Amino acid sequence: MPSPAKTTAKAAARTAGAGIGTYVVLVAQALWARKRIGTTTDRPPSGNGLYGHELAGEAVHCLLLGDSTMVGYGMRTVDETPSALIGIGLSHILDSPVHVHNQSVVGARSSDLLGQIEAAEHHRPQIAIILVGANDITHQVPAKRSARRLAAAVRRLRSMGTEVVVGSVPDFGTVKPLPVPLRTVCRYWSRHLARRQTVAAVEAGARVVSLADVLEPLFLVKGDALFGDDRFHPSAHGYATIANFLVDAAVTQWRHGSRVEDEPIEQMTLEQAADWAAEHGGTQVAPAPRGRRFAAVLRWRR
């Protein structure tokens, strides 16, 4: 009969072997998915400019920051880009002209946000909307570091007097080109980062809207129509869906700001709020009146 030490050693060896085998499978699947998703050198037309120019009053200056999802990767007309979707939506609901400046860059990570803010500082943004995190995951940036960089960007914007809305990283589990087990692992990574982003951004003074699985329920109706040709970035309908959530959060933030007691709210600890939001797309989390560090305000579509 083998000794306990030898049994433990064999078990450890089997575990290590399984871990190495799983890692090899994940790497192979990641390379396959990257090849299948592919890239394109095409860039969408710029959506920068004034929306609702026929409306009275001074224009609200809106700055868009982040990665390819905020750029509108894959879109071929201006009206399909997040810049236009957000500009039109905000001007319509606020009944005011909105000047949109999109500083987002394809491939950007959280570490690029401060540079984007610096490049757009002369536009004097009154409200900023951030979408970032997907490339942090694909480049294996630790979630804690990624969230810390996001928080630094939020604090910089807040120091400029800018209201800030952050769309947390979407659930990678909805990306069909990612096979199992890679898709399962990416779902965990993305939701873990979304939790970190929520806590960090709210503590820094932003309102966070969870994009978690906001596209997933619509698969029952729209199916693959929610994703573009690369099966990774959203389609025009997918971008419009995401923009609706961002516009809703931006309007709420613009009207209420830190006066969250004016909203229909539910209070809980910030960590509890982040956990809830990561599992419930459309949830909005904002600093609570009793303290940003320990509590948050939730508001979600029912």
Query: Tokens 């999109």 map to which residue?
Result: 102
Say if residue 244 is exposed, middle or buried (CB neighbours under 10 Å; 0-12, 13-18, 19+): middle
- Cβ contacts of residue 83 below 8 Å, gap of 6+? 46, 47, 48, 64, 72, 100, 102
Is residue 164 within 8 Å of 157, Cβ to Cβ?
yes
| Annotated catalytic residue, options 101, 111, 233, 235 | 233
Is residue 210 within 8 Å of 285, Cβ to Cβ?
yes
Is 171 a catalytic site residue?
no
How many residues appear in the chain? 302
Is 230 a catalytic site residue?
yes
Is residue 36 within 8 Å of 231, Cβ to Cβ?
yes
**Which DSSP string do the residues of 140-191 spell out, in sequence order?**
T--HHHHHHHHHHHHHHHHHTT-EEEEEPPP-GGG-TTS-TTHHHHHHHHHH
The values of phi and psi at residue 175, to 5°, are -85, 110
| Annotated catalytic residue, options 61, 67, 68, 171 | 68
| Annotated catalytic residue, options 230, 256, 275, 280 | 230
Distance CA 248, CA 44 (A): 24
Give the number of other CB atoms < 10 A from CB of residue 58.
Answer: 9
Is 258 a catalytic site residue?
no
Distance CA 72, CA 65 (A): 12
Residues tagged active-site: 68, 230, 233
